[in-house]
A and B are shown apart, each in its own frame.
Chain A
Amino acid sequence: MSADIAIEELHFSFNAGERPVTLFDKLKLTVGRGETFGILGPSGCGKSTLLRIIAGVQRHWSGRIRLFEHAIVPGARFKGALRREIQMVFQDPYASLHPLHTVERALTEPLVVHGVADAGTVALERLQEVGLSAHLARRYPRELSGGQRQRVAIARALLLGPRLLLLDEPTSALDLSAQAEILNLLNRLKRSHDMTLILVSHDRGVIAHLCDRAAVMQGGRIEKILHRSELSQV
């Protein structure tokens, strides 16, 4: 299995007050083609930061990162194909959708910016693909339930046809039934889109339900890698 994502010697530190704190030191990780890879750990272990580094949102790291055929340079924004191919679904669906933009705007704007023809129609298609009806397009995020908002966030992440989908605790802020719906949706989308997934969660059950392999993270270090056989025991 050729590795789609290869991270080596990753180093990341931040300033807590005046003292610099090292979070990652020589972190190493590989994710294979089309895999659904989980990162399991308690809050503060660094799993979200790792995801944001892979997403290109957090750029102050050092080390070597290869995402597909692109070698990532620390400090540089992702551009062009690389930027399109890596997308993320955030934890709090209310915080990741602009509160003053309608669902329609949230879904058409990225398409317009990338010059996709017929943005309105494509946006509606994506909306229906995540199981939402077209009439919700004119609603604002505050008028939607948590599960609905997260579906919009997922639809938005899929707009540009990403090859890598990053999910930061996608169901932590949701009810049990909303969580079940989103997990079912993700399972379906995994099969219909050709994507590699990296899923971060503190919930062992969620990781075990979705992932082929998972890294257990603690204090910025990967303690061990769980394979499918071990995950099925969870």
Chain B
Amino acid sequence: MKGSSAALRFGVAVLGVWVVVAIAAPWLSPYDPLQQQIEARLQAPSLAHWLGTDSLGRDLLSRLLYGARPTLLLVALVATVMAPIGLTLGILGGYFSGGLDRILSGLTNVVMAFPQLVLALAFVGLLGPGLLNVALALILTGWPAYARLSRAETQLLRRSDYIAAAEMLDIRGPRLLFGHLLPACLPALRARLALDLAGVVLTAAALGFLGLGARPPTPEWGTMVAEGGRVVFDQWWLAAAPGAAIFLLSIAFNSIADGLRAGNSHAG
């Protein structure tokens, strides 16, 4: 039990640091991330530039700090839209059964049959690159997991005594679904969401790497890894730094998920 809260604290702490970095990037960055200084390109880390400069002479540290923004924005967008949609659809299907459940389950299964990255690629390919489109792609391909989870939980909870008790007191409809069933579904959902967000960070970076993410010159970790990849044998830090950032953020979510899941199994 101690181990789980340590994981949770670690994850939240690291995430907190990134959030602060993203918000305070203008004040923390020593240079303007878009300012090019071609004469100073591809410099090794030094006192002037802690992480060196990239192929256009832009300070890598500043780009790294600003790069937290699109990633975190994406994560926030996906988290706040994807989970509620899936949750609601799952609860509705799980509680009402019958025709509604069959339609929703069918839809869930169809979307789930496609691998998320491939589907996201297709979406972005169709809609064009850009942060919003990546978010949309991830939301549209990610909600089924939550629908399935909350549907299973709801079906289980429907038989529980406290739902029967609520029924006997004539508590029904939206009040029952959102006041009683939904809160009971949340613990399992939270742990799953944290884990998914770790994956979202990686998928977003992958899409950025493929040039389908934020448009240049906006600093974005995935794109930066791609740029750094071109000179990786000589200026390895250009790919390593954003890579480490992606890793750290993803690990933060993984730790949070770990801590939440362990917390759930103890509270249950």
Q: A: which residues have CB within 8 A of B?
A: 52, 55-57, 83-84, 86-88, 90-92, 95-101, 109-110, 113-114, 153, 156, 159-160
Contacts and interface: CB of A to CB of B under 8 A. Distances in A.
Contacts, number: 56
Given A95-B160, A96-B161, A96-B162, A88 B184 contact: no
Interface in B105-164: 160-162, 164
Contact of A113 (B162, B165, B169): B169
Contact of B169 (A91, A101, A110): A110
A92 B168 contact: no
Contacts of B168: 55-57, 83, 86-88
B167 interface: yes
Interface residues of B, number: 16
Contacts of B183: 98, 100
Contact of B165 (A99, A100, A156): A156
Contacts of B171: 109-110, 113
Contacts of A113: 169-171, 175
27 contacts: A57-B167, A83-B170, A84-B170, A87-B168, A87-B169, A88-B164, A88-B165, A90-B161, A90-B164, A91-B161, A92-B161, A95-B161, A95-B162, A96-B161, A97-B162, A97-B165, A98-B180, A100-B184, A109-B169, A109-B179, A110-B170, A113-B175, A114-B170, A153-B165, A156-B165, A159-B169, A160-B169
- Main SS at interface, chain B: helix
Given A55-B168, A98-B162, A156-B165, 20 more contacts: A57-B167, A84-B170, A87-B168, A87-B169, A88-B164, A92-B161, A95-B162, A96-B162, A96-B165, A97-B162, A98-B166, A98-B180, A98-B184, A99-B184, A100-B184, A109-B171, A109-B179, A110-B171, A113-B175, A153-B165
Nearest to A95: B161
B63 to A, nearest CB: 44
Contacts of B167: 57
A56 B168 CA distance: 8
B52 to A, nearest CB: 51
Which of A91, A100, A114 has its CB near the most chain B CB atoms (within 10 A)?
A100
Contacts of B166: 98
Contacts of A96: 161-162, 164-165
Nearest to B183: A100
A208 B264 CA distance: 42
A83 B180 CA distance: 19
A106 to B, nearest CB: 9
Contacts of B164: 52, 57, 88, 90, 96
A141 to B, nearest CB: 9
B185 to A, nearest CB: 11
Contacts of A84: 170
Contacts of B162: 95-99
Nearest to A91: B161
Nearest to A142: B267
Nearest to A153: B165
